[in-house]
Amino acid sequence: MPPAGGGFDSDEFLADLAKEIDQLGMDKLSPALSGTTPNAQPAAKPKATSAPSAEPGPLKEVFDEFRAELGEMGAEEEDLETHYNLGIAFREMGLLEEAISEFQKVAKANERGRAFRYTMQCCTLLGLAFMEKGQPAIAAIWYERALKTPGMDPESTLALRYDLGVAQESAGEPEAALKSFSQVYAMNIDYRDVAERIAALQKPIRRS
C-alpha cells in the first residue's frame, strides 16, 4: 500500500522498472523483476545467479535512476519492500555492493522501529551477499542477527545456524563454528553434513 498523501507507489515502481528492462531487451538478466510485485518474495535462501561477464551498463543506469527516485523520499515514506526487491534484483545480476546497500537500508529502518515482515530473509540475504564477497566474518554478524528474529520456525533456525557455522569456519573461528554446528547436531543429527563438519573441527581442537 502506498504511503498516505500520494506517496511512492511500490507496485507502479516495479511495473515501470520491468517495462524499462523489457524495452532494453535485457529481461533475461533479471528474471526476478519480470512480472514481480512487492508481495512476490524469495525463499529464505535464494540462489544467486552468476554475475554477467560484462558490466550491464544500460540496465544499471535504469536501476540508478529508480534508486535516485527512492532517495528523494523521506525516511517515513520509504517503501521497505521496494528496497528489498531492488536488493534481490541487484544480487541476481551479480551487483553485490548495490544489493547490500539496498538490504542495509531495510535493516537500518527496521532497527529504527519500522516494521518489516521479511526481516529474517533480509538479514539472511545480507549474510549470503557478504559470503559471496568473500567476507565471512561480516556474514556471520548478519546470520546472528537473523537468528534473533522472533517466531522463527525450527527448519529456518537450523538452516541459519548451519550457515552461521560455515561463515565462522571460513572466517577462521573453529571453536565458534563447532558451537554452531553442535547446536544444529543437537536438534537434527542427520542435518546435511553437520556430523562430518563437527568431526573435522574436533580433530585440531583435540590436538591443541
Mean per-residue pLDDT over the chain, rounded: 79
The total number of structural domains in the chain stands at: 2
Whichever domain contains 168, its CATH number is: 1.25.40.10
Cell of 146: 537473523
CA dist., res. 99 & res. 120, Å (int): 16
For residue 1, what pLDDT band results from cuts at 50, 70 and 90? very low
Would the pLDDT of 147 be above 90? yes
User: What local confidence, expressed as pLDDT, does residue 198 receive?
Assistant: 98
Residues 83, 102: contact at Cβ < 8 Å? yes
In terms of C-beta density within 10 A (0-12 exposed, 13-18 middle, 19 or more buried), how is residue 207 classed? exposed
- Residue written as cell 547490500? 100
CA dist., res. 86 & res. 63, Å (int): 8
CA dist., res. 106 & res. 84, Å (int): 7
Domain boundary among 117, 142, 174: 117
pTM for this structure? 0.70
Percent of the chain, pLDDT > 90? 59
User: What local confidence, expressed as pLDDT, does residue 44 receive?
Assistant: 41
User: What local confidence, expressed as pLDDT, does residue 32 receive?
Assistant: 42
Check whether residue 169 and residue 196 sit in a common domain.
yes
Least confident among 18-22, 85-89, 91-95, 166-170: 18-22
Averaged pLDDT, 13-27: 61
Check whether residue 20 and residue 104 sit in a common domain.
yes
Would the pLDDT of 200 be above 90? yes
- Secondary structure (DSSP) of the chain: -PPTTT---HHHHHHHHHHHHHHTT-GGG-GGGTT--TT----SSPPPPPPPSS--HHHHHHHHHHHHHHHTS-TTT--HHHHHHHHHHHHHTT-HHHHHHHHHHHHHHHHTT---TTHHHHHHHHHHHHHHTT-HHHHHHHHHHHHT-TT--HHHHHHHHHHHHHHHHHTT-HHHHHHHHHHHHHH-TTSTTHHHHHHHHHHHHHH-
CA dist., res. 17 & res. 47, Å (int): 22
Domain boundary among 82, 117, 152: 117
Check whether residue 104 and residue 142 sit in a common domain.
no
Check whether residue 74 and residue 144 sit in a common domain.
no
Q: Each residue of 47-106: pLDDT tens digit?
A: 444 444 344 566 666 666 666 665 554 444 468 999 999 999 999 999 999 999 999 999
Domain of residue 32 covers 1-117
Averaged pLDDT, 1-21: 54
Neighbours of 158 (CB within 10 A): 19
Check whether residue 68 and residue 22 sit in a common domain.
yes
For residue 203, what pLDDT band results from cuts at 50, 70 and 90? confident
Least confident among 21-35, 98-112, 155-169: 21-35
Least confident among 26-40, 74-88, 144-158: 26-40
Averaged pLDDT, 176-196: 98
